[in-house]
């Protein structure tokens, strides 16, 4: 038990690793601002320097570091399109709830993505896929077609 505690006490905290990854990701972006260092570039730099595996704990910083401003812009456009879709759904009386649901998912994931690496997690893609598939099932019932499920 004492050896475990000494290792745990010597290890840097999760918060300091998170901030370290964000700072190093920012510095990597400064070296490659337009196209980024390439997918996996941050981890590769760390491993080549003999340091342990660590991902960037911020989606915007990760996109800038590894895909540059172009990658950040493309993901930003998709996010803007999804937000626009949410507001369009909210304007329709029969789909108001779907618009609110999509907007809540996007707001939560965007806010949490500032300090977490949700693009690497299944939770974001699962929620988005579940939302989309549930919407298609509702569309089928509203048009008089039988529900395929």
- Each as own residue / partner, the long-range contacts of residues 136-143 (CB below 8 Å, 24 or more positions apart, any chain) are 138/98, 142/94
Q: What is the pTM of this model?
A: 0.76
List, for residues 88-115, the tens digit of each pLDDT value.
Answer: 989 988 888 888 988 998 999 899 999 8
Instruction: Supply the DSSP string of 60-108, one letter for each residue.
Output: HHHHHHHHHHHHHHHHHHHHHHHHHHHHHHHHSGGGHHHHHHHHHHHHH
The position carrying tokens 């759904």 is 89
């Amino acid at each position: 038990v004492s050896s475990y505690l000494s290792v745990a006490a010597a290890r840097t905290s999760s918060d300091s690793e998170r901030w370290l990854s964000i700072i190093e990701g920012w510095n990597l972006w400064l070296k490659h601002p337009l196209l980024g260092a390439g997918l996996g570039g941050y981890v590769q730099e760390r491993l080549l320097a003999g340091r342990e595996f660590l991902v960037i704990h911020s989606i915007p910083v990760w996109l800038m570091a590894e895909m540059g401003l172009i990658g950040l812009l493309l993901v930003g456009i998709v996010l803007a399109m999804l937000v626009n879709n949410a507001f369009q759904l909210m304007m329709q009386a029969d789909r108001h709830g779907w618009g609110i649901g999509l907007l809540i998912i996007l707001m939560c994931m965007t806010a949490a993505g500032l300090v977490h690496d949700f693009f690497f997690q299944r939770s974001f893609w699962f929620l988005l896929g579940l939302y989309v598939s549930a919407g298609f099932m509702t569309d089928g019932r509203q048009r008089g077609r039988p529900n395929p499920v």
